[in-house]
Structure 1
Amino acid sequence: MFGYWDALYFVFVFIVGLILAYLLERWAKRSGMGTRETGPGAKMFISGEDPDRIIPGFEHLEGNYTGKNVMWGLTYALKGFFTALRNEHTGLLTDYVSYLVITTAFVMGVLLIWG
């Protein structure tokens, strides 16, 4: 069985997974207390972000979740790394292709030496 892949098994397992997910969702709706889907108080928030409020610096994303509050710890901890990446970001395709070629050459060199 291991090392052998059959598309029919994959489709079968995928369909069984969809059926189980559907049954679980139906069970959760039936056994839960229910949620208000319309009316006042039914608005969704993610970490205190209001999708209807304009967030300074994110005016172009009005009505969307930015994830700013969710990822603040990661962005604060890696501020130096992100600043270095932002400084290297030129938007020129030739720069990115050269990075790809250099990285590929490095990996191939390592594989040839220690491979």
Structure 2
Amino acid sequence: MPITNALAGIAVEDIAAAMTFYERLFGRPADARPMSEVAEWKFSTGGWVQVFTDADRAGSSFVTLIVSDLAEVLEELSIQGITPVAKRTGDFAKTAIFRDPDGNQLVFSQTLRNTY
């Protein structure tokens, strides 16, 4: 089964409020709005994040985004007023954990060694 890409879903209660946050987080408007209750951001090297309205599951999503320079990401997000709730460094990666307005967990991670 050759998988060629992946889409991570994030359930939110209010798509308009979520879009304001995610536009600041990603530094740009959504790349696609396939439905009024869905917004999608595509990444240049593959993968998508889809934010969608689902009040029953809002706040229970978890997404890890791999970045090449975590310090640079933290600096850019700080300018936007977005700060991590925690930071961690392990043997293979360093991470910064964020929460969106619904409480969904977003982790930015930089690998320290080529483990994949």
The answer, yes or no, to whether TM exceeds 0.5 is: no
Higher RCO by CA contacts (8 Å cutoff, separation 6 or greater): 2
**Higher fraction of strand:** 2
